[in-house]
Structure 1
């Protein structure tokens, strides 16, 4: 009997332990299974990282390079200006692969070249834009690398504006996410990369005019709103994509993926970001972040948009640090309401997530310059006195002289008559 009781108790304990272990396993969150060699998922509003795989591994970006080319074109160029293609279009070492077949001397508006660049991924359009913005290709490549450093993409080095395979032309999944985030925050850029198709104007017949976006997710999922695909034999499949849902925007990057599973992998990353993280407002619009002194008066410095924080479900919110950097170098004597006086950097464990402008909450006028009349008062009084008393003195002296002279004449006449 004791043996049977012990046996049943042992079975009960095994079942209980197994059930508990199964329950614990069920609560484990399954991470996205990404086939690409590098991947990154970032929350656009907060700048926080949600998922990564080999984030700092140097990889070829292929045509996702054109994100930077397009951003510079929008920041530095005039969209309505005409761009004339140069003889570089005939250089098959710089221009090959996907093209719209630009010929030397052909004229296109910059805005149409951008559709060819960002939708059709035309390499000749990339070179044409680079020569227009930078005057020549080396100078434009320098501009690309400088802009990457400004964004914080320190492990990125561009060698050309198109993304065609070239030694030393590399980025990382992390860097590319940073570049894409900055680019997408430009509303003109965002409008381009969410466009599915667009006809452009060409001066010659029988040339491609319908630019079709190569991003398959844009056609499959209405929540997807950009950004750029890429492929070369060396880089394999590359994809940067943006999705906006329920007020949140995520940007994902996958580099060097072997096949078309890159699209389902990206969707898995997006699903993970939306279901396993929540976003809240750390500081609402109008929050006072710091103060500045203007004419010995304290001035509140406020933000004109919220500071967001992204937190993993069932975990404590990360601690964000705010660092204020003034933009003025000398004492302030006057400010206008809404004038930018500083920037606030949002950091998570030393990593820069966001930089927002801090604006003055009200206007303060410069002090009125008062004329110091008191130092001239004695002179003014003296002049007034001299102007009044001196003539009186002179008149009195002359009058006295006249009276004396008159008296003398009277005395002489009186003596003569006697």
Structure 2
């Protein structure tokens, strides 16, 4: 058994967290929201969070799930954007004071218009109309919503209706909404063609997008706002910016803010958190494609050693913040995207992001050897990524192993070789 990368030192970037723990330490008192999180979609790592698993009313962020399901149905060929459907009495479920497209029973509308109304106008009648078209009735669609949530690992979530109307058994969390946003942007990116729209009108009803960050940051292209008295002001925000990596040229972060005091405040907080995440973390390739991880001895085969290799590049998110003081978001310089800190004299100084530092890998082999014949998928190894001697991420190395058994004559020859 030969481990080739049991301790690899790479020029990289430093962070000091546990796996899936926050990379940046932000003082929660400096963030004017009840719950929030920052997620890197490429690595699935949480950059920073507070109360991220607290179950809260998601309000119209719920509609991300409706759109996710509808766009999956489009992908599967069960719907087309050009399909015209006739509004049914289900639109009467929507109350006069709810966001809506003002659909009337018997009115005809396309799936494309419903999606735009759902995402840009946050129309509740669009939500229930799509729900009925996809699942036959609203309760069946709600069951589908919860099935999809379970599949995505949204353990803090239970949906009770498609639009996000406040109900005791309708709840989610900042963490789960970020997971949903990750699925939307990676599996159904068509969503972003709607969420980036600055406005949408239908039947002389004109609506400006309530995601105020769209106006000030061209890298922002989604995702969804939400507001009810019970929820406060919610926002799931995402942007795509250059990563500097050839293997993954765009880097997408998602910020979810729940329970802010106003629409302006939720936009301000989410944008600060977004810029902070981009400025003080970075994605780094720690394992290259086809990189040799280890070699395992093979028994009863002419193949002596089996090469354990990475099947794809592995990326980790690392921290560039190297100061013991928690970050004060209120002192974050928005113009320069820099954290500011008061010195002993009360003067503000800049904490610059780190440029490079070192990471290392440690390989834990699950097999000491392989015995032929063998033809199955095997979990061969676990690669742990450390920075500052603290575990920040882990990867499983699996492979479909095909090893033929040596013939009796080949084994006899090998036996004679061992004698001499």
Does structure 2 retain, via aligned residues, the 8 Å contact 1:302–1:360? Answer: no
Does structure 2 retain, via aligned residues, the 8 Å contact 1:224–1:242? Answer: yes
Residue in structure 2 matched with residue 61 of structure 1 by the alignment: 58
Does structure 2 retain, via aligned residues, the 8 Å contact 1:60–1:234? Answer: yes
1:246 to partner: Cα distance: 3.1
Does structure 2 retain, via aligned residues, the 8 Å contact 1:304–1:359? Answer: no
Does structure 2 retain, via aligned residues, the 8 Å contact 1:303–1:356? Answer: no
Does structure 2 retain, via aligned residues, the 8 Å contact 1:62–1:163? Answer: yes
Q: Is structure 2 residue 263 aligned with structure 1 residue 267?
A: no
Residue in structure 2 matched with residue 11 of structure 1 by the alignment: none
Residues 328-371 of structure 1, C-alpha deviations (whole Å, 9 max, x = no match): xxx759xxxxxx9999999999x99899997989xx9xxxxxxx
Residue in structure 2 matched with residue 49 of structure 1 by the alignment: 46
Residue in structure 2 matched with residue 131 of structure 1 by the alignment: 132
Distance 1:274 1:108, change over 3 A: same
1:193 to partner: Cα distance: 1.9
**Structure 2: distance between partners of 1:141 and 1:157:** 9
| 1:134-173 equivalence runs, <5 A | 134-173=135-174
Residue in structure 1 matched with residue 339 of structure 2 by the alignment: none
**Structure 2: distance between partners of 1:145 and 1:354:** 29
- Consecutive unaligned residues of structure 1, counting only runs of 5 or more, are 1-27, 201-205, 326-330, 334-339, 365-418
Structure number with larger C-alpha Rg = 1
- Consecutive unaligned residues of structure 2, counting only runs of 5 or more, are 1-23, 244-250, 324-356, 367-373, 403-420
Residue in structure 2 matched with residue 6 of structure 1 by the alignment: none
Partner SS, residue 276 of structure 2: helix
**Structure 2: distance between partners of 1:57 and 1:132:** 32
**Structure 2: distance between partners of 1:96 and 1:343:** 58
**Structure 1: distance between partners of 2:103 and 2:295:** 55
Give the number of equivalent residue pairs: 319
Partner SS, residue 114 of structure 1: helix
Residue in structure 1 matched with residue 231 of structure 2 by the alignment: 235
TM-score scaled to structure 2, two decimals? 0.64
**Structure 2: distance between partners of 1:177 and 1:270:** 13
1:245 to partner: Cα distance: 2.6
1:75 to partner: Cα distance: 0.7
| 1:169-208 equivalence runs, <5 A | 169-186=170-187, 187-198=189-200, 206-208=203-205
- Which is strand-richer, 1 or 2? 2
Q: Is structure 2 residue 72 aligned with structure 1 residue 72?
A: no
1:216 to partner: Cα distance: 0.7
**Structure 2: distance between partners of 1:354 and 1:117:** 38
Residues 61-100 of structure 1, C-alpha deviations (whole Å, 9 max, x = no match): 010011111101101242333332211112346x851111
Residues 262-317 of structure 1, C-alpha deviations (whole Å, 9 max, x = no match): 11111221232123223211223455679999xx8879775456433323434987
Residue in structure 1 matched with residue 246 of structure 2 by the alignment: none
**Structure 2: distance between partners of 1:162 and 1:321:** 47
Q: Is structure 2 residue 324 aligned with structure 1 residue 313?
A: no
Partner SS, residue 152 of structure 1: coil
- Which is helix-richer, 1 or 2? 1
Distance 1:160 1:71, change over 3 A: same
TM-score scaled to structure 1, two decimals? 0.64
**Structure 1: distance between partners of 2:365 and 2:88:** 47
Query: Relative contact order (C-alpha < 8 Å, sep 6+): which is higher?
Result: 2
**Structure 1: distance between partners of 2:289 and 2:221:** 26
1:56 to partner: Cα distance: 1.4
